[in-house]
Amino acid sequence: MKHRAVKGRLLRLAGFFLPLAVLLVFLLFPFYWTFVTSVKPAAELYQARVTYWPAGFTWDSYRNLFGEFRFLKPMLSSLTVALSTTIVTLVVAVLAAYAFSRFEFKGKRIFMVLFLTNNMFPTVLLLIPLFTIMRRMGLLYTPSSLILAYTTFTIPFSIWLLSGYLNDLPSSLEEAAMVDGANRRQAFVKVILPVLVPGLVATGVYIFMQAWNEYTFAVMFTNERNRTIPVALKNLIGQLGVQWDLLTAGGIITIIPVCVMFFFAQKRLVEGLTAGAVKG
Amino acid sequence: MRVARNRQALYPYLLIAPALLFVILVVLFPVLRALLMSFQNYDLRRPGAIGFIGLTNYAAVAGDPLFRAALVRTLIWVLFGVGLQFVVGFILALLLHQHFAGRGIVRSVSLIPWVTPGVLIGLMWRWIYDGNFGVLNDLLVRLGIIRDFIPFLARKGTAFPSVIATIVWQGIPFFSIMLLAGLQGIPSSLYEAADIDGARPRQKLFYITIPSLRNTIFVTTLLRIIWVANSVDVIYSMTEGGPAYATQTLSVYIFNKASSMNLGYASTMAVFLMLLLSFVAVPYLRSMFRKG
């Protein structure tokens, strides 16, 4: 009897905890390594022996990053672009999502598929004509060009996500308000929007993350004055090689805000993202 | 009365109008413009020479050995990238579906690679792969697997597998959350019935779990293929397509050509990429349309 219990525990160790631990180490070690690199003194970084725990500990790289390398500037650019993209997208997408969720109208399916189609175009295909369009409109190298470019993928996706959240809210909510004399708009603003807040927050976090992380458009549509974080990080790789302590410090600073936001919105976001694929 | 009803009928169209306007301006119009540019000599370094040249770009692309190599590389990139993301993501989903203490935290934390910028992912791994001070080399030497440090990203034979491993790392969490949600939707009565019939774990996996997840696997894989094929930032921040084009997928090649302002030629290749991806996009859209 006792023998069997031990065997069961060993089996669970080999068949469950061990593979889980291996996978988690694989997924998380790069972050540990990035952090450790960012706090090692430069001399320790470029010595023959690799240290797995920093022998010396210093915040110098963070000080240099914000001092000499003015990392705050790309952070502010990223924040401007990401916040504006989020607001513009949410306003436009919530209206369309409401139409798809609450109305039957001619061409509804065609429109829905049209919006979905937009996520299918190669990024590099849109990049080229948008570059020339922004250039001609005089928007190139301004934050507006990035915000517009990012709506190419944020709007379709947000409509899809928000429609899902809206479908979970019963129509009886607005109907009750409309029986009480409110019109459609009042019912939407006073009844639907307040209960939609968690869904709006989750969608907003997703949009923000995408805009904050994007590189391909950002490197073509910005210059020294308004580089976003991913471009600034890549630019730390100079002619003289890579300053890994600075770069990893920048990396840590970059992911902290998105991680914090993600953990708050995670539950609803994952629900929304998985709903479409799972329902079948 | 009739006016009021007409206004009612217009309401949904008014609601989607702003989104439609955006989509027409930033997606449909640019796509048409890219098609147009693919027939033009459009090189911003020589703006005086911009003009229509018929199918010249298409002929040039068809005869471009770098294009052909990038095309083959894209197929390998997608096959191994998405394939391994799926396998490892599925294993992770099965593990995270078990009951254990701290499951919620483990689930959240395992998603972090998914919220990390592609550029940062590329740079983090570039440092891990480093040929002089890289931790992967150090680990492999300590374990006795290799004797001398390997410059993974600088050598032709190892660069491409290394970037594929990185894209796999990036995509595991997405597969695992989608499949985990699918697993949670499988009624436990199916497994109970199988237990009564004396089914083995492997039988349950192949006869219950995988068939029940068919739709999730289909949709997630199609979406992932499109994303991985489009991905530029990870490869670009690791190798920029080098060494000697060894990691240059079609998306990276197009990006490199666009960066050097040869927009006509880049558009032509992008049109090819779009046609290639439509093999994946059309079934996806068709399945969504049916669901509508």
Which ipTM was obtained for this model? 0.92
Tell me what percent of the residues of chain B surpass a pLDDT of 90: 83
Q: Which of B12, B181, B291 is opposite residue A105, by nearest beta carbon? A: B12
Q: Do B34 and A125 touch (CB under 8 A)?
A: yes
Q: What is the pLDDT of residues A174-198, one digit of tens each?
A: 888 888 888 888 989 999 999 999 9
pLDDT at res. B1: 44
Q: Do A279 and B291 touch (CB under 8 A)?
A: yes
Q: What is the CATH number of the domain that holds A90?
A: 1.10.3720.10
Residues of B in contact with A244 (CB under 8 A): 127, 133
Q: Which of A122, A129, A275 is opposite residue B273, by nearest beta carbon? A: A122
How much is the mean pLDDT over chain B?
92
Nearest CA in chain A to B31: A126
Q: Which domain holds residue A100?
A: 70-279
- pLDDT band of A277, cuts 50, 70, 90: low
Tell me what percent of the residues of chain A surpass a pLDDT of 70: 97
Whether A1 shows a pLDDT value over 60: the answer reads no
Instruction: Kindly state whether residue A153 falls inside one of the protein's structural domains.
Output: yes
Q: Do B23 and A159 touch (CB under 8 A)?
A: no
Q: How many domains does chain A have?
A: 1
Three-state SS sequence of chain B: CHHHHHHHHHHHHHHHHHHHHHHHHHHHHHHHHHHHHCCEECECCCHHHCEECCCHHHHHHHCCHHHHHHHHHHHHHHHHHHHHHHHHHHHHHHHHCCCCCCHHHHHHHCCHHHHCCHHHHHHHHHHHCCCCCCHHHHHHHHCCCCCCCCCCCCCHHHHHHHHHHHHHHHHHHHHHHHHHHHHHCCCHHHHHHHHHCCCCHHHHHHHHHHHHCHHHHHHHHHHHHHHHHHCCHHHHHHCCCCCCCCCCCHHHHHHHHHHCCEHHHHHHHHHHHHHHHHHHHHHHHHHHHHHC
pLDDT at res. A276: 67
Q: Tell me the average pLDDT across B167-177.
A: 96
Question: CB-based contact (8 Å) between A98 and chain B?
Answer: yes
Instruction: Kindly state whether residue A57 falls inside one of the protein's structural domains.
Output: no
Domain ranges of chain B: 1-33, 65-291
pLDDT at res. B6: 66
Whether B177 shows a pLDDT value over 90: the answer reads yes
Question: CB-based contact (8 Å) between A193 and chain B?
Answer: no
- pLDDT band of A239, cuts 50, 70, 90: low
Question: CB-based contact (8 Å) between A99 and chain B?
Answer: yes
Q: What is the pLDDT of residues B249-288, one digit of tens each?
A: 999 999 999 999 999 999 999 999 999 999 998 888 888 7
CATH of B65-291 given 1.10.3720.10, 1.10.287.1080, 2.60.40.10, 2.130.10.10: 1.10.3720.10
How much is the mean pLDDT over chain A?
91
Question: CB-based contact (8 Å) between A35 and chain B?
Answer: no
Q: Do A213 and B127 touch (CB under 8 A)?
A: no
Model pTM above 0.95: no
Q: Which of B135, B180, B258 is opposite residue A50, by nearest beta carbon? A: B135
pLDDT at res. A2: 65
Q: Which of A123, A152, A247 is opposite residue B230, by nearest beta carbon? A: A123
pLDDT at res. A280: 42
Residues of B in contact with A231 (CB under 8 A): 119
A152 or B5, greater pLDDT = A152
